[in-house]
A and B are shown apart, each in its own frame.
Chain A
Amino acid sequence: QKEVEQNSGPLSVPEGAIASLNCTYSDRGSQSFFWYRQYSGKSPELIMFIYSNGDKEDGRFTAQLNKASQYVSLLIRDSQPSDSATYLCAVEAGNKLVFGAGTILRVKS
C-alpha cells in the first residue's frame, strides 16, 4: 500500500511569515511529486510539480525534494491570509496520484 503522510495541522503562521509544509512517502519508485491547494468545498488546485532532487521555486512557493529521505516539502514565503487552505501532497504512483490527507494552513493577519 503506497502511503503519503502529512501532518494534519492546523499550522498557524502570522501574515508575512514563512509557512513550511512537509510530506513523506513510502514508494521509492515514485518519480514525480505535486503540491495542491484545496479551499473548503473546492477542487484541488495545482501549485507545484517537482521531480528532481533539490529545490524548485515559483514566485512565493518553493518545493524541496529529497528522494533519499523520501521527503518533499513546500515553503510559502510572505504568507497571506488568502493562503489559508488545506495543502495536499500528491505522489505519482504509475497511472495515478496518491494523496496525503492534507495540512490545514491558517495565516493570521
Chain B
Amino acid sequence: EPEVTQTPSHQVTQMGQEVILRCVPISNHLYFYWYRQILGQKVEFLVSFYNNEISEKSEIFDDQFSVERPDGSNFTLKIRSTKLEDSAMYFCASSVTPPAYNEQFFGPGTRLTVL
C-alpha cells in the first residue's frame, strides 16, 4: 500500500541552525501539506502546496519557513534559523484532491529537537 515517507525520523539541532525536513508523498498525489504537533498539543496546519505554489499558509509559517518540491518526488520543509519553540513533530501529508473531496494521508513524522 502506498504511503508517505519522511526523513529523518529524528533531528537534533542547535538553536539558530538551519534544518531541512524531507518528505516523499504518495506518487499520484498532487496536494502536499506540512503540519506540526508540539508535545501534548493539537496538530497545527503550517502550509499547503499545489502545482509548485503555496496554496495557503498559517500564521506560524513565517519568513523562517520555506517549502520546495525540488524534483518529481520530494517535498521539503526548511527552517532557516531554528528556535527552541520549533521543537515539535513535523508531519507531511498528501492527497489526490483538495481536502474537501478526499482524505489526507500522513507520513510518520520527523521529531525536531532544538537545543
State the A residues within 8 Å of B (CB). 31-32, 34, 36, 42-46, 49, 51, 88, 90, 92-102
Known: A95-B50, A97-B35, A99-B43. 9 other contacts (CB 8 A): A36-B106, A43-B107, A43-B108, A88-B42, A94-B56, A95-B31, A96-B48, A97-B104, A102-B42
Determine the chain B residues whose CB is within 8 A of the CB of A43 once the complex forms: 89, 91, 106-109
| CA of A94 to CA of B48, assembled, Å | 10
Determine the chain B residues whose CB is within 8 A of the CB of A102 once the complex forms: 42
Closest to B31 in A: A95
Does B48 lie within 8 Å of A49, measured CB to CB? no
Determine the chain B residues whose CB is within 8 A of the CB of A46 once the complex forms: 103-106
| CA of A34 to CA of B35, assembled, Å | 16
B48 partner, pick from A34, A95, A100, beta carbons under 8 A: A95
- Asked if B98 CB lies within 8 Å of chain A CBs, one says yes
Name B37-70 residues within 8 Å CB distance of A: 41-45, 48, 50, 55-56, 58
- Asked if B99 CB lies within 8 Å of chain A CBs, one says yes
Closest to B111 in A: A41
Determine the chain A residues whose CB is within 8 A of the CB of B101 once the complex forms: 32
Closest to B101 in A: A32
**In whole Å, how far is A74's beta carbon from the nearest beta carbon of chain B?**
15
Closest to B108 in A: A43
**In whole Å, how far is A8's beta carbon from the nearest beta carbon of chain B?**
10
- Asked if B75 CB lies within 8 Å of chain A CBs, one says no
Determine the chain B residues whose CB is within 8 A of the CB of A34 once the complex forms: 103-104
Name B79-115 residues within 8 Å CB distance of A: 89, 91, 98-109
9 pairs of residues in contact across A and B, judged by CB atoms under 8 Å: A32-B100, A43-B89, A43-B106, A43-B107, A46-B105, A92-B100, A94-B99, A97-B45, A99-B42
Closest to B46 in A: A96
| CA of A64 to CA of B56, assembled, Å | 29
| CA of A51 to CA of B100, assembled, Å | 8
| CA of A45 to CA of B109, assembled, Å | 12
Does A96 lie within 8 Å of B33, measured CB to CB? yes
Determine the chain B residues whose CB is within 8 A of the CB of A95 once the complex forms: 31, 48, 50, 55-56, 98-99
